[in-house]
Protein backbone atom coordinates (compact mmCIF):
# COMPACT_ATOMS: atom_id res chain seq x y z
CA UNK A 1 0.00 0.00 0.00
CA UNK A 2 1.40 3.41 -0.91
CA UNK A 3 1.97 6.12 1.68
CA UNK A 4 -0.88 8.23 0.20
CA UNK A 5 -3.31 5.32 0.39
CA UNK A 6 -2.25 4.58 3.96
CA UNK A 7 -2.82 8.22 4.94
CA UNK A 8 -6.23 8.21 3.27
CA UNK A 9 -7.22 4.97 5.03
CA UNK A 10 -6.10 6.33 8.39
CA UNK A 11 -8.07 9.55 7.87
CA UNK A 12 -11.20 7.59 6.97
CA UNK A 13 -10.78 5.40 10.05
CA UNK A 14 -10.47 8.43 12.32
CA UNK A 15 -13.61 9.98 10.81
CA UNK A 16 -15.58 6.82 11.56
CA UNK A 17 -14.18 6.30 15.06
CA UNK A 18 -14.53 9.87 16.29
CA UNK A 19 -17.12 12.62 15.78
CA UNK A 20 -16.23 15.70 13.81
CA UNK A 21 -13.90 17.90 15.85
CA UNK A 22 -16.37 20.76 15.65
CA UNK A 23 -19.05 18.80 17.50
CA UNK A 24 -19.05 19.26 21.29
CA UNK A 25 -20.32 17.29 24.26
CA UNK A 26 -23.61 18.58 25.69
CA UNK A 27 -24.09 15.81 28.24
CA UNK A 28 -24.31 16.48 31.95
CA UNK A 29 -26.30 18.50 34.45
CA UNK A 30 -27.00 22.16 33.75
CA UNK A 31 -28.38 24.49 36.40
CA UNK A 32 -30.69 27.26 35.24
CA UNK A 33 -29.57 30.87 35.53
CA UNK A 34 -32.92 32.54 36.20
CA UNK A 35 -31.60 36.07 35.82
CA UNK A 36 -33.61 36.60 32.63
CA UNK A 37 -37.38 37.16 32.73
CA UNK A 38 -37.42 36.20 36.40
CA UNK A 39 -41.13 36.87 36.94
CA UNK A 40 -42.12 34.79 33.95
CA UNK A 41 -39.96 31.84 34.99
CA UNK A 42 -40.59 32.12 38.73
CA UNK A 43 -43.83 33.34 40.25
CA UNK A 44 -45.29 33.91 36.80
CA UNK A 45 -46.16 36.98 34.72
CA UNK A 46 -48.99 39.36 35.41
CA UNK A 47 -52.34 38.43 33.87
CA UNK A 48 -52.71 39.91 30.40
CA UNK A 49 -49.04 40.93 30.13
CA UNK A 50 -48.27 39.95 26.54
CA UNK A 51 -45.98 42.82 25.59
CA UNK A 52 -43.35 41.68 23.11
CA UNK A 53 -45.43 38.80 21.73
CA UNK A 54 -46.16 39.10 17.99
CA UNK A 55 -49.84 38.23 18.36
CA UNK A 56 -52.33 38.41 15.56
CA UNK A 57 -55.99 39.06 16.45
CA UNK A 58 -56.71 35.35 16.91
CA UNK A 59 -53.82 34.99 19.36
CA UNK A 60 -54.90 38.04 21.33
CA UNK A 61 -58.53 36.93 21.59
CA UNK A 62 -57.49 33.42 22.59
CA UNK A 63 -55.28 34.82 25.33
CA UNK A 64 -58.02 37.15 26.60
CA UNK A 65 -60.36 34.18 27.03
CA UNK A 66 -57.90 32.39 29.33
CA UNK A 67 -58.70 32.00 33.03
CA UNK A 68 -55.98 30.73 35.35
CA UNK A 69 -58.57 28.49 36.99
CA UNK A 70 -58.51 26.36 33.84
CA UNK A 71 -55.48 24.45 35.11
CA UNK A 72 -57.37 23.62 38.33
CA UNK A 73 -59.74 21.37 36.42
CA UNK A 74 -59.04 17.71 37.38
CA UNK A 75 -58.34 16.71 33.78
CA UNK A 76 -55.83 19.58 33.38
CA UNK A 77 -53.96 19.53 36.71
CA UNK A 78 -51.37 17.08 35.33
CA UNK A 79 -51.43 18.58 31.85
CA UNK A 80 -47.93 18.78 30.34
CA UNK A 81 -46.37 21.88 28.85
CA UNK A 82 -44.90 21.74 25.34
CA UNK A 83 -41.16 21.81 24.68
CA UNK A 84 -41.30 25.62 24.62
CA UNK A 85 -41.28 25.36 28.43
CA UNK A 86 -37.56 24.56 28.24
CA UNK A 87 -37.04 28.32 27.95
CA UNK A 88 -40.21 29.63 29.58
CA UNK A 89 -39.96 27.48 32.72
CA UNK A 90 -37.62 27.84 35.71
CA UNK A 91 -36.08 24.37 35.75
CA UNK A 92 -32.57 23.04 35.15
CA UNK A 93 -31.56 20.54 32.45
CA UNK A 94 -30.06 17.09 32.32
CA UNK A 95 -28.75 16.08 28.90
CA UNK A 96 -27.40 12.72 27.77
CA UNK A 97 -26.70 10.93 24.51
CA UNK A 98 -28.05 7.68 23.13
CA UNK A 99 -25.31 5.86 21.24
CA UNK A 100 -25.19 3.07 18.70
CA UNK A 101 -23.95 0.03 20.67
CA UNK A 102 -21.61 -1.08 17.87
CA UNK A 103 -20.11 2.12 16.50
CA UNK A 104 -20.58 4.47 19.44
CA UNK A 105 -22.09 7.02 17.09
CA UNK A 106 -24.59 9.38 18.74
CA UNK A 107 -28.05 8.56 17.44
CA UNK A 108 -29.87 11.09 19.63
CA UNK A 109 -29.53 13.67 22.37
CA UNK A 110 -32.09 13.54 25.16
CA UNK A 111 -33.20 16.45 27.35
CA UNK A 112 -34.73 15.02 30.50
CA UNK A 113 -38.28 16.04 31.39
CA UNK A 114 -39.94 17.40 34.52
CA UNK A 115 -43.34 16.77 36.00
CA UNK A 116 -44.59 19.55 33.71
CA UNK A 117 -42.69 18.70 30.50
CA UNK A 118 -42.03 15.45 28.68
CA UNK A 119 -38.44 14.53 27.70
CA UNK A 120 -37.19 15.78 24.35
CA UNK A 121 -35.37 13.38 22.03
CA UNK A 122 -33.30 15.09 19.34
CA UNK A 123 -32.75 12.53 16.58
CA UNK A 124 -29.32 12.87 14.95
CA UNK A 125 -29.52 9.92 12.56
CA UNK A 126 -31.07 11.73 9.61
CA UNK A 127 -34.59 10.35 9.95
CA UNK A 128 -37.34 12.51 8.38
CA UNK A 129 -40.16 14.22 10.21
CA UNK A 130 -43.51 12.40 10.14
CA UNK A 131 -46.39 13.32 7.86
CA UNK A 132 -48.21 16.50 8.81
CA UNK A 133 -51.21 14.28 9.54
CA UNK A 134 -49.33 12.22 12.14
CA UNK A 135 -50.47 12.55 15.79
CA UNK A 136 -49.31 15.55 17.81
CA UNK A 137 -48.36 15.47 21.49
CA UNK A 138 -46.55 17.62 24.07
CA UNK A 139 -43.27 15.85 23.27
CA UNK A 140 -43.26 16.72 19.58
CA UNK A 141 -40.81 15.29 17.05
CA UNK A 142 -37.32 16.77 16.92
CA UNK A 143 -34.34 16.34 14.61
CA UNK A 144 -30.94 17.94 14.95
CA UNK A 145 -27.80 18.78 13.00
CA UNK A 146 -24.44 20.33 13.76
CA UNK A 147 -23.13 23.50 12.16
CA UNK A 148 -19.60 23.66 13.48
CA UNK A 149 -19.91 23.51 17.28
CA UNK A 150 -23.53 24.72 17.30
CA UNK A 151 -26.39 22.22 17.45
CA UNK A 152 -29.68 23.22 15.83
CA UNK A 153 -32.84 21.24 16.66
CA UNK A 154 -36.17 21.52 14.89
CA UNK A 155 -39.44 20.45 16.57
CA UNK A 156 -42.78 19.76 14.90
CA UNK A 157 -45.95 17.81 15.84
CA UNK A 158 -46.56 19.50 19.19
CA UNK A 159 -49.98 19.96 20.73
CA UNK A 160 -51.51 23.29 21.62
CA UNK A 161 -49.88 24.95 24.60
CA UNK A 162 -48.83 28.27 26.11
CA UNK A 163 -45.90 30.56 25.42
CA UNK A 164 -46.46 32.23 28.78
CA UNK A 165 -48.27 30.85 31.80
CA UNK A 166 -50.82 33.65 31.65
CA UNK A 167 -52.55 32.10 28.66
CA UNK A 168 -50.49 33.34 25.70
CA UNK A 169 -51.33 30.47 23.33
CA UNK A 170 -49.45 28.36 20.82
CA UNK A 171 -51.23 26.15 18.30
CA UNK A 172 -50.66 22.61 17.07
CA UNK A 173 -49.22 24.12 13.88
CA UNK A 174 -46.37 25.81 15.76
CA UNK A 175 -42.76 24.77 15.22
CA UNK A 176 -39.77 25.38 17.49
CA UNK A 177 -36.15 25.82 16.43
CA UNK A 178 -33.60 25.52 19.25
CA UNK A 179 -29.96 26.50 18.91
CA UNK A 180 -27.55 25.03 21.51
CA UNK A 181 -24.39 27.09 22.04
CA UNK A 182 -21.80 25.99 24.58
CA UNK A 183 -19.01 28.25 25.83
CA UNK A 184 -17.01 26.35 28.44
CA UNK A 185 -19.24 25.89 31.48
CA UNK A 186 -22.01 28.05 30.00
CA UNK A 187 -24.79 26.69 27.78
CA UNK A 188 -27.12 29.08 25.97
CA UNK A 189 -30.32 28.00 24.25
CA UNK A 190 -32.05 30.27 21.75
CA UNK A 191 -35.62 29.18 20.95
CA UNK A 192 -37.61 30.48 18.00
CA UNK A 193 -41.33 29.73 17.71
CA UNK A 194 -43.19 30.15 14.45
CA UNK A 195 -46.96 29.79 14.62
CA UNK A 196 -49.13 30.59 11.59
CA UNK A 197 -52.29 30.40 13.70
CA UNK A 198 -51.54 32.91 16.48
CA UNK A 199 -48.39 34.85 15.50
CA UNK A 200 -47.49 37.20 12.67
CA UNK A 201 -43.72 36.89 13.18
CA UNK A 202 -41.31 34.46 14.85
CA UNK A 203 -40.96 34.82 18.62
CA UNK A 204 -37.52 34.41 20.22
CA UNK A 205 -36.67 33.48 23.81
CA UNK A 206 -33.20 32.67 25.20
CA UNK A 207 -32.13 30.70 28.25
CA UNK A 208 -28.76 30.25 29.97
CA UNK A 209 -27.42 27.38 32.08
CA UNK A 210 -24.22 26.63 33.98
CA UNK A 211 -22.56 23.23 34.17
CA UNK A 212 -22.86 21.72 37.65
CA UNK A 213 -21.38 18.60 39.28
CA UNK A 214 -24.59 18.21 41.29
CA UNK A 215 -26.90 15.83 39.42
CA UNK A 216 -30.10 17.39 38.12
CA UNK A 217 -33.19 15.23 38.55
CA UNK A 218 -34.59 13.87 35.30
CA UNK A 219 -38.13 14.48 36.54
CA UNK A 220 -39.77 15.89 39.63
CA UNK A 221 -42.26 14.18 41.90
CA UNK A 222 -45.25 12.55 40.20
CA UNK A 223 -48.21 14.78 39.53
CA UNK A 224 -51.26 13.83 41.60
CA UNK A 225 -54.73 14.88 40.50
CA UNK A 226 -56.69 16.56 43.26
CA UNK A 227 -59.76 18.71 43.76
CA UNK A 228 -59.12 22.45 43.60
CA UNK A 229 -62.64 23.76 43.82
CA UNK A 230 -63.61 24.08 40.16
CA UNK A 231 -67.32 23.47 39.75
CA UNK A 232 -68.00 20.15 38.02
CA UNK A 233 -68.96 20.55 34.37
CA UNK A 234 -67.68 24.13 34.22
CA UNK A 235 -64.79 25.24 31.99
CA UNK A 236 -63.28 28.45 33.42
CA UNK A 237 -62.91 31.15 30.77
CA UNK A 238 -63.69 34.78 29.97
CA UNK A 239 -66.15 35.80 27.31
CA UNK A 240 -65.17 38.50 24.78
CA UNK A 241 -64.67 41.92 26.43
CA UNK A 242 -65.17 40.37 29.90
CA UNK A 243 -61.57 39.78 30.97
CA UNK A 244 -61.21 41.67 34.30
CA UNK A 245 -57.43 42.00 34.02
CA UNK A 246 -57.25 43.72 30.65
CA UNK A 247 -56.04 47.02 32.14
CA UNK A 248 -54.05 45.67 35.10
CA UNK A 249 -50.68 46.57 33.55
CA UNK A 250 -51.90 50.13 33.07
CA UNK A 251 -53.13 50.40 36.66
CA UNK A 252 -49.98 48.97 38.22
CA UNK A 253 -47.18 50.08 35.88
CA UNK A 254 -48.87 52.69 33.65
CA UNK A 255 -48.18 50.52 30.60
CA UNK A 256 -50.99 51.27 28.12
CA UNK A 257 -53.26 48.55 26.82
CA UNK A 258 -51.91 48.73 23.29
CA UNK A 259 -48.52 47.64 24.65
CA UNK A 260 -49.59 45.01 27.18
CA UNK A 261 -51.83 43.19 24.70
CA UNK A 262 -48.90 42.46 22.40
CA UNK A 263 -48.51 42.55 18.65
CA UNK A 264 -45.43 42.48 16.44
CA UNK A 265 -44.70 46.18 16.85
CA UNK A 266 -44.32 45.76 20.64
CA UNK A 267 -41.22 43.65 19.96
CA UNK A 268 -39.18 46.56 18.63
CA UNK A 269 -37.53 49.59 20.32
CA UNK A 270 -39.31 52.07 18.03
CA UNK A 271 -42.59 51.22 19.76
CA UNK A 272 -41.43 53.14 22.83
CA UNK A 273 -41.49 56.36 20.82
CA UNK A 274 -45.09 55.65 19.81
CA UNK A 275 -46.36 55.33 23.39
CA UNK A 276 -44.00 57.64 25.28
CA UNK A 277 -46.61 60.40 25.59
CA UNK A 278 -49.05 57.92 27.15
CA UNK A 279 -46.59 56.61 29.72
CA UNK A 280 -46.37 58.12 33.19
CA UNK A 281 -43.66 56.96 35.59
CA UNK A 282 -45.43 54.84 38.24
CA UNK A 283 -44.99 55.46 41.96
CA UNK A 284 -42.41 53.59 44.02
CA UNK A 285 -42.64 49.85 43.46
CA UNK A 286 -44.51 47.89 46.13
CA UNK A 287 -45.02 44.56 44.31
CA UNK A 288 -42.65 42.15 42.53
CA UNK A 289 -39.78 44.56 43.05
CA UNK A 290 -37.06 41.99 43.39
CA UNK A 291 -36.22 42.87 46.99
CA UNK A 292 -37.24 41.21 50.29
CA UNK A 293 -40.53 42.35 51.77
CA UNK A 294 -39.87 44.30 55.03
CA UNK A 295 -40.58 42.18 58.08
CA UNK A 296 -40.32 38.88 56.20
CA UNK A 297 -37.38 36.49 56.09
Phi/psi for 167 (5° steps) reads: 100, 5
pTM of the model: 0.84
Was domain 28-46+67-212 assigned CATH 2.40.128? yes
The candidate with the shortest Cα–Cα distance to 68, out of 76, 58, 80, 60, is 76
Task: Determine the pLDDT at residue 264.
Answer: 96
pLDDT mean over 246-256: 91
CB atoms within 10 A of CB 284: 5
Chain-centre distance for alpha carbon 105: 28
Q: How many angstroms separate the Cα of 206 from the Cα of each of 86, 178, 233, 287?
A: 10, 9, 39, 25
Q: Give dist(CA 62, CA 73) in Å, integer.
A: 18
pLDDT mean over 91-114: 93
User: Is the separation of the CB atoms in 127 and 141 below 8 Å?
Assistant: no
Domain extent listing, the chain:
28-46+67-212
Task: Determine the pLDDT at residue 267.
Answer: 94
Instruction: Give the pLDDT confidence of 183-230 residue by residue, as tens digits.
Output: 999 999 999 999 999 999 999 999 999 999 998 877 767 777 877 777
Confidence tier at 11 by pLDDT (50, 70, 90)? very low
User: Is the separation of the CB atoms in 78 and 223 below 8 Å?
Assistant: yes
Q: Give dist(CA 137, CA 135) in Å, integer.
A: 7
Instruction: Indicate the DSSP class of residue 179.
Output: E
User: Virtual CA dihedral for 106, 107, 111, 113, nearest 10 degrees?
Assistant: -140
Choice between 33 and 178, residue whose per-residue pLDDT is larger: 178
Element (H, E) at 4: helix 3-17
Whether pLDDT at 102 is above 70 = yes
Mapped onto helix, strand or coil, the DSSP state of residue 61 is helix
Q: Give dist(CA 60, CA 169) in Å, integer.
A: 9
Amino acid sequence: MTRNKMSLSLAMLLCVAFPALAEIDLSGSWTAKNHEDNMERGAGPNPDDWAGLPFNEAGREKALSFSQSTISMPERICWFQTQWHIAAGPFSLKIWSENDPLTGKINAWVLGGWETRAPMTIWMDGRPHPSKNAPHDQTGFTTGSWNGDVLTAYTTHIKTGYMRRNGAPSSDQATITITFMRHGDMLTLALVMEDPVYLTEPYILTRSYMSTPTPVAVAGPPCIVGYEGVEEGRVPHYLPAKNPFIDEMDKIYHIPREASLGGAETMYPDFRDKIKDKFVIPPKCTRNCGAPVPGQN
